[in-house]
Amino acid sequence: MKRVAVVAGIVGLMLLWAPSAFAFDCSVSLDSFDRPDSATLGPKWTQQEATIGIESFAATNPLATEGLATLTGASASQACLDIHANGKAVQYAAIVLGYKDPKNNIFIKVQQSGATGMFDTAYIYYGNNGNNNTVWVGGTFPLTPFTQARIHAALVGTEVVLEIDTNLDNVADQTFRAPEVPIASLGSGIGVGSYGHALMSNFATAAGPSSPPVSGGGATSGAGANPPAPTKATISRLAETNPTFAVGPASTALTGQTAKAHKRGTIFSFALDQPATVTVEIQRKSQGRRVHHKCKPSSRSLVRQPACALYTPVTALTRTGHAANNKLPFTGRIGGAALKAGHYVAVFTAADAAGVSKPQSIAFTIAGH
């Protein structure tokens, strides 16, 4: 992995604090990475440099290699990505814009350099992790450290803009700009980069003129027009404030409205394209044994069978969600009883008159009591 040299004399680099509403759009979900573990991201992705796969319903590269993958057929000038620090080793998560080949792209990464378990530095490079920095270097930007955030990167003319939302309220906490991008040799592809086990989810971009509508309805307006058919609600931008947390003292209600946070535990956040009833099934992850393509609980008789991830339902929460952003505080305590320490997955579905949405999942860990 390359060590970053601070380049002196770069003119016009700006660090801006921006306590204002986001000026960008992440309404078009490209890939949530919400699927079983895999060595690759799947057939819709092209692995440009090894290797990025799926682990615990997130994209990651568990190796000390400069992984880069592009979404096949996709092109955009901006993208969003939810990122999570995973342990204390050196690691990064990156958005790739203007992809032509591994040496011609804009590489915007957020990195954990110190052994703190928090992202602490952002870098804007030319080429995969700066492998073509002789062409141009956007800059090195110290961060107010964080464990999780939603990041947005955009190529606006010849300027790169990186915006970071650390509390998932859709307000940029930190904004960075790098001007004078040499765009002549860039392409139009987009993708992600990863090193050292950082977790990535909810890859998205903006709605464009040719993008399909978020919700249905092909009828024209005016007298005699047929009313649009109801459509299923869609969940997007699923995230959490604390991937690992201690159980809070108060119990989480099984039903209710989406609301503000408890002081302990975590906060799940998600967006709905329309009002819906949201169900969250909490599943405990444990090691099972694969028998005839099914994952079964471990036992002495199955000890020689291949290991697999077994998900066991523990409880379910129900909330009335509204269109746009929602928050669901979760303490890890249900009916007075704390969940056991270990690994879990929260599976979200949204139901309305048109049916039930595709599930969206996010992993979390309960720390030892």
pTM of the model: 0.59
Q: Please name which of 344, 234, 335, 332 lies closest in space to residue 278, comparing C-alpha atoms.
A: 234
Q: Please name which of 42, 69, 29 lies closest in space to residue 190, comparing C-alpha atoms.
A: 69
Name the CATH code of domain 14-205 (choices 1.10.1040.20, 3.40.1190.20, 2.60.120.560, 3.30.540.10). Answer: 2.60.120.560
Position 223 scores a pLDDT of 38
Distances (CA, A) of 286 to 240, 289, 312, 314: 21, 10, 8, 12
DSSP H helices, 151-233, are none
Per residue in 56-114, pLDDT tens? 788 999 888 999 999 999 999 999 998 989 888 999 999 999 999 999 999 999 999 98
Nearest 5°: the CA angle 270, 31, 208 is 85
Enumerate residues 6+ apart whose C-beta is below 8 A from 306.
289, 290
Enumerate residues 6+ apart whose C-beta is below 8 A from 128.
48, 49, 66, 68, 96, 102, 103, 105, 107, 193
- 243 has pLDDT over 60: yes
Domain boundaries, the chain: 14-205, 235-366
CATH T-level topology, domain 235-366: Immunoglobulin-like (2.60.40)
Position 107 scores a pLDDT of 97
What is the pLDDT of the chain when averaged over all its residues? 81
Per residue in 332-356, pLDDT tens? 888 888 999 999 999 999 988 888 8
- Phi, psi (5° rounding) for residue 77? -100, 0
pLDDT band at 2 (very low <50, low <70, confident <90, very high): very low
Per residue in 104-154, pLDDT tens? 999 999 999 988 889 999 999 999 998 988 888 889 999 999 988 889 999
